[in-house]
Chains A and B, each alone.
Chain A
Amino acid sequence: MTAPAVRLSGITKRFGPVVANDAVDLEIPAGTIHGIIGENGAGKSTLVSVLYGFHRADEGRIEIDGRPAEIRDSADAIALGIGMVHQHFMLVPNFTVLENVMLGAEGGWRLAGGARGARAALARLGAEHGLEIDPEAEVGGLAVGLQQRVEILKALFRGARILILDEPTGVLTPEETTRFFGLLATLKARGVTVLLITHKLGEVMAATDGVSVMRGGRMVAHRVTAETGPEELARLMMGRDIAAPARPAASAPGTAPALEARGLGWRDRRGVACLEAVDLALRPGEILGLAGVAGNGQSELLDLLAGLMPPQAGEIRIGARRITAADPADPAEMRRLGLAHVPEDRHRRGLVLAMEAAENAVLGYHHGPQAGPPGRLSPAAMRAHCARLMARHGVRPEAPSLRAAAFSGGNQQRLVMGREIEADPAVLLIGQPTRGVDIGGIAALHEQILGLRAKGCAILLVSVELDEILALSDRVAVMAAGRIVAEFPCAEATRERIGLAMAGIPETPGAAAAMAGPGAAGPAGGGGGGPGPADPRH
């Protein structure tokens, strides 16, 4: 029996007081596809960073192909035949494909010499693995799927025999994802050992030979994929069966909507349609869950509804106010109309990290009584308000004068959530409430959301976490390519139906025109208005 391609024993990595990896063991047989699965923050990325030399483990041993290895930096890892495709691509956007592939493996101090060989190698690798690409194309202008192809070629060009793929499908369209799994099979057939990091159960079941489950920095189980199932893996990942929180019935569907949008449309600067003819209605005491792959218009929709951008087409009704392109509203007005917003990116839009928690607790409401007497900011009043908020919403530590940056992700989010809830809104927009929040924190945030619903608030919940949508929503709407492509009442929303709608596949059985659906034609990963193609998930 040949030695395993990778054997990790007792890997421990601490960042300050946080133990990201706690005595992790892992063994990957050569020539197999091995999945590492776990929730966000389970320590998967840290583990592979240690293997690729980005971080050095505090304790533990690494063996590659049966031989002990010391991996101090990425150069060591590359020399051992380890390649990595990062979740956020490590590409120089204004370089050509060829330059990106050559960087660090130029083959001589003059570029001209190495370039000829590299071009030939690219053509050969492209043909062998079905990874054809124009070596002179500028990488920044390539679609996300092609950029990923460049990353894989980079690793293969360096002779990688062990390929680490960190959340490879997060940014891909369904079509690209299908092609990607084909590529994994080709790589395996050519003897490459693949380490697939993901939090998607479906991918693990479909593509891997073996799977390891991580939770809270520990390795909790190893399984042969054929001998396990998604239910068992989910249980192992979560550490317990997730009981959906108890949920009283929604208010009568006949109630007049607190907020209604009709025919909303919005194009970005390049003219790409991010939103097209979006209709939705939020009713009091009801949670509408909006599911979809990141970058399909959810961010733009939130911005429009929150008054951060004026709609270019259609209208938003809130109370008696009609908001249109000709008569837009700013966020302050929306707030006066009873709308509160928990933004997707709490670091950039929800908090001023350098300011105290007490100051953050009145942001946007600084003209109100929370902040002190009219026309004045009173630090004492703000701290008192913040202390009340922290006690009521479980923000730890209960220290109003601590800078916002000093709180953990979950506590930051509870602070933002608490601030918006304390304003007693009629409508609450929530974007990715549990992104970067640990499992315990997620439960508390969900309680907060359900509590607000019980008080009769109309809630729009935008999340890429399907479980979250399913656990909380009264109705589920699915977005793909800037449109709402499906809507289900809670009882009829299943993973399969939502998944199909997200991929843009219509529900009629045997539909041959599946790929003509909006998902295939969608703007790939163009959401959020961020500079890069990758979704900034931190």
Chain B
Amino acid sequence: MGWLDLLLTADSALRLATPLMLCAMAGMISERAGVIDIGLEGKMLAGAFTAAAAAALTGSAWAGLGAAMAVGAAMAALHGFACITHRGEQIISGVAINILASGLTVVVGIALFDQGGQSPPLGPEARFRPIVLPGVETLSGVPVLGPLWRELVSGHTLPTYLALAVVVGAWWMLGHTRFGLRLRAVGETPAAVDSAGLSVPGLRYRAVLIAGLLCGVAGAFLSTAHGAGFVREMSAGKGYIALAALVFGKWRPWPVLFACLLFGFLEAGAARLEGEVLPVIGRVPTQVILVLPYLATVLLLAGFFGRAVPPRALGTPYSKER
């Protein structure tokens, strides 16, 4: 694999890691506030469908993005209603969200478009197009930096740049703002937050809603930037991989980003390896290659990187009665 190959793999890794980054940050914000979010997958899937449907109907990718974020937030509000207001079991509520999304996207899709659950293919104007950053031309003659800028940094769609900005924003928010301090506190010791005169449900709702918005963006990326329309079950377990990246990254922004990029790289690498004849091994069957990222996920999570300590109050509904 040459230098350019590596660059192209990295470029595609960044693209493949985009929904992972968005969902993992969503999960991080929700779980640092103490609410387990196993419904990342469902919210992303619903977001993907909504984005494609709205883009198909209005012809605007921006309308798609807005609608996807609204639906993500609505499903998050449902999750919050079940497990913050009514102190329900958070895993069950999250699974319910996933099942709901999986079923509703197909049912509504058939009702709207009558294409077996798919949305109509989206034209270029209804999609997020790759953004060519300034400087590609200027730098094209420069060795190393030129190709790096052209192939890796430039040429991604808006949601990918947004995802990177979200990681930086989440890091800054958690560590440097009042909201972040309160968020971390409510996920560790909600009683302390209550005793400080702050609203535990209020903080948790905000965290859960932010998670919903981010999942919506991830969904919009899948159907209106990465793909050109909605295909049933197009989230394909990425929400769960994001959850794995979240645990692997120990609920901290930079390690989580690293985990997402690693998973993206494994997936991109697997795609590159397809059909290649490797020395010693020979031709690797496609199925084996496709399973690699998932296998790597399992192995990485099996404890190569020390024990992950979750937020103390994660999964525990707060109640004043002691």
Contact = CB atoms under 8 A, between A and B. Distances in A.
Interface in A104-134: 104-106, 108-112, 114
A75 interface: yes
A450 interface: no
A110 B181 contact: no
A442 B185 CA distance: 39
A75 B193 CA distance: 10
B189 A110 contact: no
Interface stretch (A83-91, A363-371, A405-413): A83-91
Given A74-B194, A74-B195, A103 B181 contact: yes
Find the residue from A52, A53, A76, A92 having the highest chain B CB count within 10 A: A92
Given A74-B196, A74-B197, A77-B197, A94 B188 contact: yes
A114 B182 CA distance: 14
Given A75-B197, A108-B178, A54 B320 contact: yes
Contact of B189 (A74, A77, A78, A91): A91
A75 B312 CA distance: 24
Contacts of A78: 196-197
A538 B185 contact: no
Nearest to A52: B195
* Chain A interface category by residue count: 35 or more
B158 interface: no
Contacts of B145: none
Contact of A106 (B175, B181, B184, B312): B181
A100 B197 CA distance: 13
A110 B176 contact: yes
A159 to B, nearest CB: 13
Interface string A32-56: 0000000000000000000011110
Interface residues of B, number: 25
Nearest to B172: A110
A90 B191 contact: yes
Interface string B165-189: 0000000000111111110110011
B178 A92 contact: no
Contacts, number: 81
A93 interface: yes
A95 interface: yes
B200 to A, nearest CB: 11
Given A103-B181, A103-B185, A109-B178, A75 B198 contact: yes
A102 interface: yes
A109 B199 CA distance: 16
Contacts of B181: 99, 102-103, 106, 111
Contacts of A55: 320
A110 B195 contact: no
A106 B322 CA distance: 27
A104 B177 contact: no
A474 to B, nearest CB: 37
B178 to A, nearest CB: 4
Given A54-B320, A112-B176, A104 B197 contact: yes
A54 B179 CA distance: 22
Contacts of B175: 111
Given A111-B176, A112-B176, A538-B322, A91 B192 contact: yes
Given A74-B197, A75-B198, A100 B192 contact: yes
B301 to A, nearest CB: 23
Contacts of A92: 184-185, 188-189, 192
28 contacts: A52-B195, A74-B194, A74-B196, A75-B197, A77-B197, A78-B197, A84-B195, A88-B191, A90-B189, A90-B194, A92-B188, A93-B312, A94-B312, A99-B181, A99-B185, A102-B181, A103-B182, A103-B192, A103-B198, A104-B193, A104-B196, A104-B197, A110-B178, A111-B178, A111-B181, A114-B178, A154-B196, A538-B322
Given A73-B199, A79-B197, 11 more contacts: A15-B321, A52-B195, A55-B320, A73-B197, A90-B189, A93-B188, A104-B197, A104-B198, A109-B178, A114-B178, A538-B322
Interface of A: 15, 52-55, 73-79, 84, 86, 88, 90-95, 99-100, 102-106, 108-112, 114, 154, 538
